[in-house]
Structure 1
Amino acid sequence: MRKLTRTLGVLCLVFGAYQAAFAATSASLPLWPGVNSAQLAAQAPVHWVSVAQIENSLTDRPPMAIGFDIDDTVLFSSAGFWRGQKEFSPGSQAYLSNPAFWEKMNNGWDEFSIPKEVARSLIAMHVRRGDSIYFITGRSPTKTETVSRVLQENFLIPASSMNPVIFAGDRPDQNTKIQWIKEKDIRIFYGDADADITAAREAGIRGIRILRASNSTYRPLPQAGKFGEEVIVNSEY
């Protein structure tokens, strides 16, 4: 009986301590923290632009070559990357170095990618201007690819404006997009990643940021506007 009483006493002490700790945690995390007008009005000092403002800035300029990154810029392609990680390297990024993954991603899995609305607006604007459209991606090249067809069909790009996708690869020691930007004489490059903006700047052209969707599998999310570049409003989708 004494042992039972002692055991019950210990359990009561442990339970009481747990309740106290839980109560303290709950007290520090209110259910309705509220918000004030200053917090709602707070904005980062970013150079925001709209598609209309970009178009206006090109008034009276002749047709030119325009470049786009693909993943998280014109396509929300996280579905394919999510599936690739689960199939080829659960819990790690090793799948990104697996040629078998890129074969699938570049040859069919973009059928599950969602075209971004900001890309529809931008590409339509550049097609109206008569610009030549290039897509330069950090994806690894494969012997065959259906990405060019998917992009042309999704964004209604006429053959006269469309160029085959350039698979620049993702070398950690070199930003190969720079050489393609220079080789194709691209004058504006759109991208979601820091490397897209720095590539444009190093090539001496205008780099414009498109926001990466907050539910993208490509983490961490970049700090848009950190280089003082233009950032397109409402471009996360």
Structure 2
Amino acid sequence: MNLLQKTSIALILSAISLSAAAHGPKVNYTHQGVTAIDMKNTNKVRWVTVEQIRDSLKNTPPITVSFDVDDTVLVSSQCFYYGRNTFSPNSYEYLKNQAFWNYVADGCDRSSIPKESAAALIKMHQERGDQVVFITGRTGHINNDPTRLDVLGTILERTFDVKNMRPVNYTQDTPVAPYLYDKTYYIVKNKSQIHYGDSNDDVLAAREAGIRAIRVIRTPVSTNRPLPINGGYGEEVLIDSSY
């Protein structure tokens, strides 16, 4: 095995070790789908484009739509990579450390890369007059005021030119009873009718809330491994949404 092969394997193992633990109940996939890097059998997936989503809403008055943040609208793995190496190199304990979340909330996302697919989606919805809201599994800053825009909210507002920007909803990866998934309560609270997200929990939370779920493909370089099976629940998957 040459040095390049050893390095590649080391990088893959490192990425796998940084995968986030699942929080909601696990549900077996019901359909054959694909990961962001395995595009076999793509004909089995219910691919959808931004234009097709817009057309599906042509007779629908303005609605509220919700977006997950990490790997859905922003490529932000560098924040979590740094956080783990700094706060808990050998475990996921950093995700329970308020100091880590304060670090993220203080502006780590100034280095996050906005996804082109998210920009196109948000532009389309705003042209329709839809209200855009953001729901993330992150924990907010210890001094976060949920009634005001924080740093992340301001970055999202500026990056995607969000109109009537509302404060970011932080779930802390904790379901609110009687719901099983952490984002369900906030989807219902915001009266969202479409939820976009890259994770299984995003899809399942939307379904738990009784609304339309559209999967966004997780960026292949994400540290959140393993990559989910896009279309694994028969949900619509936004084409070319890994970037």
* TM-score bracket relative to the smaller structure: 0.7 to 0.9
Cα distance in 1 between the residues matched to 2:173 and 2:93: 13
Cα distance in 2 between the residues matched to 1:172 and 1:185: 17
CA positional deviation for 1:172: 7.2
Q: For residues 15-44 of structure 1, what are the alpha-carbon distances to aligned partners after superposition, in whole Å with 9 as ceiling and x for unaligned?
A: xxxxxxx9xxxxxxxxxxxxxxxxx98535
- Give the 3-state SS of the residue equivalent to 1:135 in structure 2: strand
Cα distance in 1 between the residues matched to 2:209 and 2:128: 23
Look up the match of 1:146.
151
Cα distance in 2 between the residues matched to 1:86 and 1:55: 42
- Give the 3-state SS of the residue equivalent to 1:95 in structure 2: helix
CA positional deviation for 1:82: 0.7
Say if 1:172 and 1:189 are closer, same or farther in 2 by CA, change over 3 A. closer
Which letter maps to 1:150? I
Cα distance in 1 between the residues matched to 2:41 and 2:227: 20
Look up the match of 1:222.
228
Look up the match of 1:59.
58
Larger radius of gyration: 1
CA RMSD of aligned residues (A): 1.7
8 Å CA contact retained: 1:132, 1:163: no
Cα distance in 1 between the residues matched to 2:132 and 2:158: 14
Look up the match of 1:233.
239
8 Å CA contact retained: 2:63, 2:130: yes
Cα distance in 1 between the residues matched to 2:108 and 2:194: 28
- Which structure 2 residues correspond to residues 175-190 of structure 1 after superposition, within 5 A? 175-190=181-196
Look up the match of 1:114.
113
1:48 matched to 2:47? The reply is yes
Look up the match of 2:73.
74
Which letter maps to 2:57? L
Q: Compute the TM-score of the two structures, normalised by the length of structure 2.
A: 0.77
1:203 matched to 2:209? The reply is yes
Look up the match of 2:21.
none
Look up the match of 1:169.
172
Q: Mark the runs of 5 or more structure 2 residues left unpaired by the alignment.
A: 2-38, 145-149
Deviating beyond 4 angstroms after TM superposition, the runs of 4 or more aligned structure 1 residues are none
CA positional deviation for 1:64: 0.7
Say if 1:170 and 1:41 are closer, same or farther in 2 by CA, change over 3 A. closer
Cα distance in 1 between the residues matched to 2:130 and 2:221: 32
Q: For residues 182-214 of structure 1, what are the alpha-carbon distances to aligned partners after superposition, in whole Å with 9 as ceiling and x for unaligned?
A: 111110000000000000001000000000011
Aligned residues: 197
Cα distance in 2 between the residues matched to 1:228 and 1:41: 16
8 Å CA contact retained: 2:72, 2:196: yes
8 Å CA contact retained: 2:175, 2:183: no
Say if 1:116 and 1:41 are closer, same or farther in 2 by CA, change over 3 A. closer
CA positional deviation for 1:91: 2.9
If each structure's helix is expressed as a fraction of its own residues, which one has the higher value?
Answer: 1
RCO higher in structure (CA 8 A, sep ≥6) = 2
Say if 1:129 and 1:152 are closer, same or farther in 2 by CA, change over 3 A. same
Q: For residues 43-92 of structure 1, what are the alpha-carbon distances to aligned partners after superposition, in whole Å with 9 as ceiling and x for unaligned?
A: 35110011111011010210011100000000000011111111101132
Q: Mark the runs of 5 or more structure 1 residues left unpaired by the alignment.
A: 1-21, 23-39
CA positional deviation for 1:171: 2.4
% same residue: 45
